Amino acid sequence: MHPVAELIYYCGTMDSGKSTLALQTAHNHRSRGREGVIFTSKDRAGKGLISSRLGLQSAAIEVGPELDIHRFVVDQLSIGSRVDYIICDEAQFYEPIQIDQLARIVDGLGIDVYAFGILADFRTKLFPGSARLVELADRVNTLQVEALCWCGQRATHNARTINGVMVTEGEQVVVGDTNTAHEVAYEVLCRRHHMRQLTARVSRAGHTSSEPLPFNS
């Protein structure tokens, strides 16, 4: 008896190794002779690419808002292509209807779907794609690689910064990175420092005095 196909969502903050795990998952399946399709959306490396901060990279199908993922997979099967598994990176950027299509692929076609993404945006609001995945996925797994806040605590939130200062307003999707010198960037923070809007740069600015603390002997 074949195991029942599943829709599994692996989620975490930025810097938690989502794309690395997506590429490793694809490699593991290919090494066992399985064939699959890799999807992504708005990767920092460019359109139609999935990349990790470890330097790994692979071609992928770019998911735009108009792509019918279920129809794409059915078309692949109809021309004789094998699709044993599906990798969906940056799944937070998918439309909710596209997440429904992934569920149809699992239930109707019996194909495992592994989705990877960020749960919440810089305002701590769920991305629509992630919200729908939480509602529909057979399993939601938090990535075990812990990103760290500048203070050394586990990072649980993504902050958008402009010149190192955290902002809480703006468009939900602005593609950026955590290791960039660009004006708009991202930083992972623990909840305490996210709530206080205390980024690494702001923290350093607040501790620049060279005077010793006034301890009494």
The count of other CB atoms within 10 Å of the CB of residue 24 is 14
* Known active-site residue 90: yes
Which tokens sit at 59? 């071609």
Strands (E), 12-145: 36-40, 49-51, 57-59, 61-62, 85-88, 112-117, 139-142
CB contact set of 79 (below 8 Å; sequence gap of 6+): none
User: Distance between the two ends of the chain, CA-based, in angstroms?
Assistant: 76
Q: Which of 62, 66, 90, 169 is catalytic?
A: 90
- What's the Cα-to-Cα distance from 130 to each of 56, 91, 100, rounded to whole Å? 24, 7, 12
Enzyme catalytic residues: 90
